[in-house]
Amino acid sequence: MTHRRWFTPWLLAGPAILWLAVFNLWPAVNTVILSFTNAKPIGGGRFTGLENYGRLLDDAQLADALLNSIVFMLVCLPLLTVLPLLLALLVQRRIPGITFFRTAFYTPVIASAVVVALIWGWVLDDRGLVNGLLGQSGLSRSPVPFLTDRWLLLFSAIALTVWKGLGYYMVIYLSALANVPRELHEAAAVDGAGPLSRFRHVTLPGVRPTMVLISALISVSSLRVFSELYVLSNGLGGPGGRDMSVVMLIQMYSRGFNGHLGYASALSLLLFVVTLGPMLFLLRLNRKAA
Amino acid sequence: MTTAREPGTTAGTERARTKPVRTKPARTKPARGFNTPSPARTAARYLLLVLVLLLVTGPFLWQLSTSLKGATEDVYSRTPSFLPDHPTIGNYGQVADAIPVWTYALNSVIVAAVCITGNVVGCTLAGFALARLRFRGAKLVLGLFLATLVLPGEVTIVSQYVLVRGLGLADNLLGVSLPGAIAMLNVLLMRTAFAAVPAELDQAALVDGAGVWQRLWHIGLPNVRGMLSVIVIFTFIGAWDDFLWPLIVLNDPQKYTLTVGLQYLDGTFSANPRLIAAGTMIAFLPIVVVFALCQRFFFKGVEEGAVKG
């Protein structure tokens, strides 16, 4: 026996189990229940059957939001699987001062998305740094509407997401690179393989599983975008509200006079369904590793 | 709801796949030609490092510079200058006139403190029970903790709001901090940490007649300090940086946390970029200090291939 009284483990795990039930399992169940009602921030709550789900089908803003997520994913996937690997190779060798560079490259990761978006909003402003430099160099006469054009705003949000994510994935790659046996590199070098050939035949195969893992992580996070778009567009979602993400729609419908908690819940379940694929894939990768 | 961590992040999955092919006998000293690059290459590496450094820190420095520029100085940059002509910290005082920024900072600290306390206590106790005590139903409980990991926080945020409102905690800092006060991922991380403590230590203590509390306090805890500090750091960062949840829960501008307050400042006083810049620096600098102080813990694990995101 590891303990004398049968309830000791339940006593220790009690608070966590309470949180599991109250703040995780119950809200999950309640999301499903709410999605069949017309619950409002004030009042409502009548059962309305599949009405909210019908509304999902002809919501033009949702269609835009899903399109935005796909664009987000398509741009972020190649950039954030390749650039952080190159960055990790750059900071891998323990040369003097490398800890400083590593820490500096990680800084955008620990900064709040709100802080980062406010900084970029200022850098990309009509009268901001980038437009100032562009105007000065004569590259563009009128300011580039980074934050007021439907597509430029989306790409600005993508750019800052990539910039903020570099350090995060760099650290994961750094950890993976540390696990590629030195002997393989040395053997390849002895056999006359140059740096490029060693990268292709030793490094790449060594970090391939990590690349798969990172792709899955990026797929999930592309679907969960919120703060970047929200802050860059001042909470409005760009021209005509076309630069919304699914999470922005969820937030929009959970508050205010036009709020609709039932519909927000249906949107949440949609978000759950589209993230489930990459999430389960991630969990399987984790299982295999353990 | 943490920004810096995703559930299920594991590095080091590739260890199993790469075959340890050894063509030469192991040496104590590495071969010269392989390990020592030419000075030109090292110089090129530093050059690249500095270039990336400019790209990464440039926007932060630009913001810092804007926050220090005086009212008479042109911040709209026909000719951008990184160094303020008349550096002043007056903007930091003026932010406090525009919004109660120090109250916001205090609110963020309160939320972070509740989350850290809850996670340290709750996850330690539960992690120990799940890893070290055998009891009926343990498997089921563990499975449920694991299952929550496939649920992104945003999915349940609406019904969490409904719940918090039902508890009478809407528009309340306790309502902001309570749901994250015991994070499921951290319970699992603590369980993993406790499971790695050698079983012999426990056995020996059992023979000596040690109870559950003594084993947790004297054998478990000293061996999981590393994981505990990682959880403290990331809980702080997560709570301090979180935006969506406090944005949904809070109404009263007096109760805003820093992130929500900054967005509010941006919406109301967008005319003066110096003030917004000063505000972002107030939100950003504490996190840099905390991370700079704790980065030892963090990068130590990375090189051993053991970091969890």
Interface of A with B in 54-93 (CB under 8 A): 87, 90-91, 93
Query: Is pLDDT of A220 > 50?
Result: yes
* Within a domain: A180: yes
* Within a domain: A15: no
Min distance A85 CA to chain B CA atoms (Å): 13
- Helices A113-123 and B225-241 cross at an angle (nearest 10°) of 50
Min distance A201 CA to chain B CA atoms (Å): 12
Go through B233-255 and write b for each residue having 16 or more CB atoms within 10 A of its CB, e for each that does not: bbbbbbbbbbbbbbbbbbeeeeb
Distances (CA, A) of B95 to B258, B262, B263, B283: 12, 10, 13, 12
> How many CB atoms within 10 Å of residue A114?
29
Choosing among B6, B14, B288, which should be mutated to test the A contact, i.e. which has the most A CBs within 10 A?
B14
Q: Do residue A234 and residue B248 have CB atoms under 8 angstroms apart?
A: no
Q: What sign results for the dihedral spanned by CA atoms A139, A142, A146, A152?
A: negative
Give yes or no for B148 touching A (CB within 8 A): yes
CA B112 to CA B2: how far, in whole Å? 12
Give yes or no for A22 touching B (CB within 8 A): yes
Least CA distance to B56: which residue of chain A? Answer: A105
Choosing among A26, A105, A122, A210, which should be mutated to test the B contact, i.e. which has the most B CBs within 10 A?
A122
Q: Do residue A113 and residue B243 have CB atoms under 8 angstroms apart?
A: yes
Give yes or no for B248 touching A (CB within 8 A): yes
* Within a domain: A43: no
| pLDDT score, position A169 | 95
Render each residue's pLDDT in chain B as its tens digit; 309 residues. Answer: 433 444 333 433 333 444 444 444 544 544 445 556 788 888 999 999 999 999 999 999 999 999 998 877 777 766 677 788 778 888 898 888 888 999 999 999 999 999 999 999 999 999 999 998 888 889 999 999 999 988 899 999 999 999 999 999 989 999 999 999 999 999 999 999 999 888 888 888 888 888 888 888 888 888 888 889 889 988 999 999 999 999 999 999 999 999 999 988 887 755 688 889 999 999 999 999 988 888 777 766 555 544 443
Give yes or no for B252 touching A (CB within 8 A): no
* Within a domain: A21: no
The helix (H) or strand (E) run that includes residue B132 is helix B101-132
CA B215 to CA A254: how far, in whole Å? 46
Higher pLDDT, A21 or B87: A21
CA B52 to CA B36: how far, in whole Å? 23
User: For B49, which of A101, A171, A275 is closest by C-beta distance?
Assistant: A101
User: For A206, which of B14, B55, B123 is closest by C-beta distance?
Assistant: B14
The pLDDT-based confidence of A195 (bands split at 50, 70, 90) is confident
> For chain A, how many structural domains are there in total?
1
pLDDT mean over A70-94: 93
DSSP string, chain A: ---SSTTHHHHHHHHHHHHIIIIIIHHHHHHHHHTTB---SSS---B-TTHHHHHHHT-HHHHHHHHHHHHHHHHHHHHHHHHHHHHHHHHHS--TTHHHHHHHHHHHHHS-HHHHHHHHHHHTSTTSHHHHHHHHTTS-SSPP-TTTSHHHHHHHHHHHHHHHHHHHHHHHHHHHHHTS-HHHHHHHHHTT--HHHHIIIIIHHHHHHHHHHHHHHHHHHHHT--HHHHHHTTTS-SGGGTT--HHHHHHHHHSSTT--HHHHHHHHHHHHHHHHHHHHHHHHHHHHH-
Give yes or no for A241 touching B (CB within 8 A): no
Interface of A with B in 131-190 (CB under 8 A): 132-133, 135-136, 163, 166-168, 171-172, 174-176, 178-187, 189-190
The residue extents of the domains of chain B are: 37-88, 95-303
pLDDT mean over A95-107: 91
| pLDDT score, position B303 | 55
Tell me which residue range forms the domain holding A159.
59-289
pLDDT mean over A218-230: 93
Under 8 Å CB pairs connecting chains A and B tally to 370
Which residues of B are less than 8 Å from A209 in CB distance? 13-14, 17
Q: Do residue B241 and residue A289 have CB atoms under 8 angstroms apart?
A: no
User: For B144, which of A20, A235, A251 is closest by C-beta distance?
Assistant: A20
CATH of the domain at A158: 1.10.3720.10
Q: Do residue B284 and residue A34 have CB atoms under 8 angstroms apart?
A: no
| pLDDT score, position B87 | 83
CA B277 to CA B263: how far, in whole Å? 12
Q: Which residues contact A121 (CB under 8 A, 6 or more apart)?
A: A147, A231, A232, B266
| pLDDT score, position B35 | 59
A284 within 8 A of B277, measured Cβ to Cβ: no
| pLDDT score, position B103 | 94
B295, with CB counted inside 10 A (0-12, 13-18, 19+), is middle
Which residues of B are less than 8 Å from A91 in CB distance? 49
* Within a domain: A79: yes
Q: Do residue A104 and residue B13 have CB atoms under 8 angstroms apart?
A: no
Q: Which two tokens stand for residue B205?
A: 């203590």
Average pLDDT score, chain A: 90
Q: Do residue A206 and residue B18 have CB atoms under 8 angstroms apart?
A: yes
* Within a domain: A11: no
A208 within 8 A of A66, measured Cβ to Cβ: no
Distances (CA, A) of A127 to A100, A153, B84, B246: 33, 16, 17, 31
| pLDDT score, position B38 | 82
User: For B276, which of A122, A166, A172 is closest by C-beta distance?
Assistant: A122
Min distance A260 CA to chain B CA atoms (Å): 10
* Within a domain: A164: yes
- CATH number, domain B95-303: 1.10.3720.10
